[in-house]
Chains A and B, each alone.
Chain A
Amino acid sequence: MELLMAIVIGILFTCAVYLMLSKSLLRIIIGTAVLSHGAHLLILTVSSLKKGAPPLLGQHAESYVDPLPQALILTAIVISFGVTAFFLVLAYRAYQELGTDNMDQLRGNEGND
């Protein structure tokens, strides 16, 4: 199971890198979202996906899954939500002000003349 997850996460990272290297700003933001999906799945996977009850004491099971990575993922998810929301609004604002979403046209070298 971990091997399958590792391959899937690898594909997610590949897609993310490909998207982030493209010219359009929206594709880059989609890339960052895919990247954070990959990272979150990776945290889940590295704590080993062995069988067990959900981490609720009311379940009275013999073994539970590791509760720590789930807390980490929850934290990382809300952080990446916050950053992505800010990034999207910034992209919108930049489109309004600068009139382009092409990263090639967002070049500049101040202090270089």
Chain B
Amino acid sequence: MINLLILPILIPLITATILMFFSKQVKTQRTIAAVSTIGTVIASVILVITVSKEGIQTLNLGSWTAPFGITLVSDMLSALLVLTTSIITLLVVLYSFKSIGRDRERFYYYPVVQFLLVGVNGAFTTGDIFNLFVFFEVMLMSSYVLIVLGGTKVQLREGIKYILVNVISSALFVITVAYLYSVVGTLNMADISQKIASVGQPGILTAIAILFLIVFGLKGAIFPLYFWLPGSYYAPPTPILALFGALLTKVGVYSIIRTYTLFFYHDPGFTHEMLGILAILTIVVGCVGAIGFWDVKKIIIYNIVIAVGVILFGISTMNGEAMEGSIYYLIHDMLIKAALFLLIGVMISITGTTDVRKMGGLIKEYPWLGWTFLVAAFSLAGIPPLSGFIGKLLILKGSFSSEFYVGAFVILASSLIVLYSVIKIFLTGIWGVPKEYKGISKGHARYLWATSAVLVLLSVFYGLGADALRPLFSQAAEVLVDPQIYIDAVLKE
């Protein structure tokens, strides 16, 4: 089945189109959205299995051979990310049934979520730099709609800022692609890599590398380009926030990984050192924010920033082991961030406040919620045998063997701060003195908890089964360390 790798893009696209016809029939919409997202998950599972058995899958659209047409490429990294994205979207869709509210559901909520899935899956799968831009725009356009859908004051205000930042970064993306095209004269990623290898990265390409870092750094929220994220992510309701926190920044991170391992690996002295320094600073600002706030949403939002820094530091070392760790940590972080956002969403809808000091004693009435949150918190901080541990361990091992001691130390210290910030929520909000709440009913809360608990469960299994999954990550890291594998797969004769 040679068209397999387009299915995770095509299924949500067709679903979104169909869903637009039933905008007022909420029940029909829910059924179609859930069923088709399950279909997307199944297709991505098959994709991962196929890639692990037969190596990198490529698909030339319209039968034009590689550098001339658009090629879709699924290596292990993108297949795994597509699978994670589909699973998270499925659970967020299920969570939305009882959380997003009828008003939003009647105004094209499910179609827009499907379009977001199209954009994210497409961005992970494409092998063409301009096509990546187009999929970015598909994703961003859906996120613009999701961030303002409902039209409350804070959503409008933060929506304006979010759109402005992304319009600027998209224009920069177009400019950067134009520069790159003028130097190498091609848009196919494998072909670009080959052309850059043949000229050996002169100064102009280093400048383009930094421009790419700025563009994708704006999407992925690295220091000093993270400033838009805390405000914008605060505005939308929980399921949308979970989608954003788990998927959007990670697409920026993936693009940095792709460009820095496939294009600009010839002169790592400047570009990768810069990436490493920025990654460390990103961790530091994230930590400052995570300690500083008493608001549950804000604490988790700043934890996104920390994780982006950790992943990019692993990539910047250009060490095979650290890269494997980064890939592992990237997927762990997508799962656990979605889970945490959904869990604090349950807490917020029970208590009716986001301030952790106004919560307390949730463990009395909702013990299942409390213990799930504790597991998720430990997993986020990287306590063995949970899923955050192995990724960080590999990153640390890799950076110690490459003698990046400062970065390794910052990552270790940041784990403590991450743990402190989430345990703060647990001790004050979930432990503490019980209070009276008149939020949602218990059964309702139990449904919301169940969907988010599935994600926590998945991440627990992900941590326990790390050994079994190890070959997949080695396969993914192999392509990052040796881009020739990718080039050969795409430009095969």
Say if A and B assemble together: yes
Residues of chain B lying within 8 A (CB to CB) of residue A104 = none
Question: A94 an interface residue at 8 Å Cβ cutoff?
Answer: yes
Q: Which residues 83-111 in A have Cβ within 8 Å of B in the complex?
A: 83, 86-87, 90-91, 93-94, 97-98, 106, 108-111
Is A112 within 8 A of B293, CB to CB?
Answer: yes
Whole-angstrom CA separation of A112 from B145 in the bound complex: 26
Is B157 within 8 A of A98, CB to CB?
Answer: yes
Residues of chain B lying within 8 A (CB to CB) of residue A86 = 141, 144-145, 163
Q: Given A46-B179, A46-B181, are A35 and B153 also a contact pair (CB < 8 Å)?
A: no
8 Å CB contact of B171 from A36, A94, A97, A113: A36
Residues of chain A lying within 8 A (CB to CB) of residue B182 = 46-48
Question: B274 an interface residue at 8 Å Cβ cutoff?
Answer: no
Question: B250 an interface residue at 8 Å Cβ cutoff?
Answer: no
Residues of chain A lying within 8 A (CB to CB) of residue B355 = 111, 113
Question: B297 an interface residue at 8 Å Cβ cutoff?
Answer: yes
Most chain A CB within 10 A, of B130, B159, B174, B298, is at B174
Q: Which residue of B lies closest to A75 (CB)?
A: B134
Q: Which residues 34-52 in A have Cβ within 8 Å of B in the complex?
A: 35-36, 38-40, 42-43, 46-48
Most chain A CB within 10 A, of B158, B163, B178, B355, is at B178
Q: Which residue of A lies closest to B230 (CB)?
A: A111
Closest beta carbon of chain B to A111's beta carbon, Å: 3
Q: Which residues 158-190 in B have Cβ within 8 Å of A in the complex?
A: 158-161, 163-164, 167-168, 170-171, 174-175, 177-179, 181-182, 187
Question: A58 an interface residue at 8 Å Cβ cutoff?
Answer: no
Question: B148 an interface residue at 8 Å Cβ cutoff?
Answer: yes
Residues of chain B lying within 8 A (CB to CB) of residue A72 = 130, 174, 177-178, 181
Whole-angstrom CA separation of A35 from B231 in the bound complex: 24
Question: A30 an interface residue at 8 Å Cβ cutoff?
Answer: no
Whole-angstrom CA separation of A79 from B178 in the bound complex: 16
Q: Given A35-B171, A46-B178, A46-B181, are A110 and B141 also a contact pair (CB < 8 Å)?
A: no
Residues of chain B lying within 8 A (CB to CB) of residue A38 = 171
Residues of chain B lying within 8 A (CB to CB) of residue A113 = 355
8 Å CB contact of A28 from B148, B154, B159, B164: B164
Whole-angstrom CA separation of A80 from B234 in the bound complex: 26
Closest beta carbon of chain B to A48's beta carbon, Å: 8
Residues of chain A lying within 8 A (CB to CB) of residue B277 = none
Question: B295 an interface residue at 8 Å Cβ cutoff?
Answer: yes
8 Å CB contact of B234 from A43, A68, A110: A110
Whole-angstrom CA separation of A75 from B170 in the bound complex: 13
Residues of chain B lying within 8 A (CB to CB) of residue A111 = 234, 293-295, 297-298, 354-355
Is A39 within 8 A of B293, CB to CB?
Answer: no
Is A90 within 8 A of B160, CB to CB?
Answer: yes
Q: Given A98-B153, A108-B231, are A90 and B168 also a contact pair (CB < 8 Å)?
A: no
Is B163 within 8 A of A87, CB to CB?
Answer: yes
Question: A76 an interface residue at 8 Å Cβ cutoff?
Answer: yes
8 Å CB contact of A79 from B134, B144, B231, B234: B134
Residues of chain B lying within 8 A (CB to CB) of residue A40 = 174
Whole-angstrom CA separation of A29 from B141 in the bound complex: 16
Is B178 within 8 A of A94, CB to CB?
Answer: no
Whole-angstrom CA separation of A20 from B160 in the bound complex: 13
Whole-angstrom CA separation of A40 from B164 in the bound complex: 18
Residues of chain A lying within 8 A (CB to CB) of residue B145 = 86
Q: Given A25-B160, A94-B157, A97-B156, are A39 and B167 also a contact pair (CB < 8 Å)?
A: no
Q: Which residue of A lies closest to B144 (CB)?
A: A86
Is A97 within 8 A of B175, CB to CB?
Answer: no
For the complex of A and B, 7 pairs with smallest distance between CB atoms: A111-B295, A46-B182, A111-B298, A43-B178, A39-B174, A94-B156, A46-B178
8 inter-chain pairs at a CB distance below 8 angstroms, sorted by A residue, are: A39-B175, A47-B182, A86-B145, A98-B153, A106-B157, A108-B158, A108-B231, A110-B295
B-side interface residues toward A, CB under 8 Å? 130, 133-134, 137, 141, 144-145, 148, 151, 153-154, 156-161, 163-164, 167-168, 170-171, 174-175, 177-179, 181-182, 187, 231, 234, 293-295, 297-298, 354-355
Given contacts A72-B178, A98-B157, 6 further A-B contacts (CB under 8 A): A86-B144, A94-B156, A97-B151, A106-B161, A110-B154, A111-B355
A-side interface residues toward B, CB under 8 Å? 20, 25, 28, 32, 35-36, 38-40, 42-43, 46-48, 68-69, 72, 75-76, 79-80, 82-83, 86-87, 90-91, 93-94, 97-98, 106, 108-113
